[in-house]
Structure 1
Amino acid sequence: MSAEEIRRAAAERIEEAEDVRDELCAALHGAGVVLPSLRVEPAAYADERPRPLVELGRCNLRTARLIAEALRRGGAGA
């Protein structure tokens, strides 16, 4: 794999991670949940061959309860 192909593949993986982060953020927002530290792991941007992770971050107890409630509502029919 050439250096250009490696860079292109890395950019695609980062873009995918950012898209997934945005999808999750929108879904959480629709359920009334905001995770202010939701992000793509910063180290992924520096890696030549990234395997990015979406960090959910930390939240207060109220937000944790909102997430649990949203999952219970959404998971009932799954």
Structure 2
Amino acid sequence: MARERRAATGPMAEAEAVCEELAAALRRTGIVLPSLTVDALTYGYEPPRVLVELGRCNVETTRKLIAVLKTAAP
């Protein structure tokens, strides 16, 4: 019997929402992290260990992210 993924509620829904919020904020600056997602292992723990996986990106995207962070940080 295959294990079914439960509907996201509470911390899981919050993790998915914050992940999408981050993706949208990054898109507004021209940055896309293709691997940005909620860590799949997060769903397997009880209680959930909510983690957002930022994933990998190329050097060009990393430099864009650094530039945006430098302008945002005091």
Give the TM-score, by structure 1 length. Answer: 0.79
Give the TM-score, by structure 2 length. Answer: 0.83
The counterpart of 2:72, out of the listed 65, 71, 74, is: 74
Unaligned runs of 5+ in 1: 1-6
1: CA distance, partners of 2:12 / 2:72: 28
CA RMSD of aligned residues (A): 1.6
| Residue-by-residue CA offset, 1:7-49 (whole Å, 9 max, x unaligned) | 8xx7211000001101110111111100000010101112221
Return the letter of the residue paired with 2:36: L
Unaligned runs of 5+ in 2: 1-5
Q: Is it true that 1:49 corresponds to 2:43 in the alignment? A: no
2: CA distance, partners of 1:73 / 1:32: 14
% identical equivalent positions: 49
2: CA distance, partners of 1:32 / 1:72: 15
Question: For residue 3 of structure 2, what is the aligned residue in structure 1?
Answer: none
Runs of 4+ in 1 over 4 A off after TM superposition: none
2: CA distance, partners of 1:30 / 1:73: 15
TM-aligned CA deviation for residue 72 of structure 1: 1.1
Return the letter of the residue paired with 2:67: E
Q: If each structure's helix is expressed as a fraction of its own residues, which one has the higher value?
A: 1
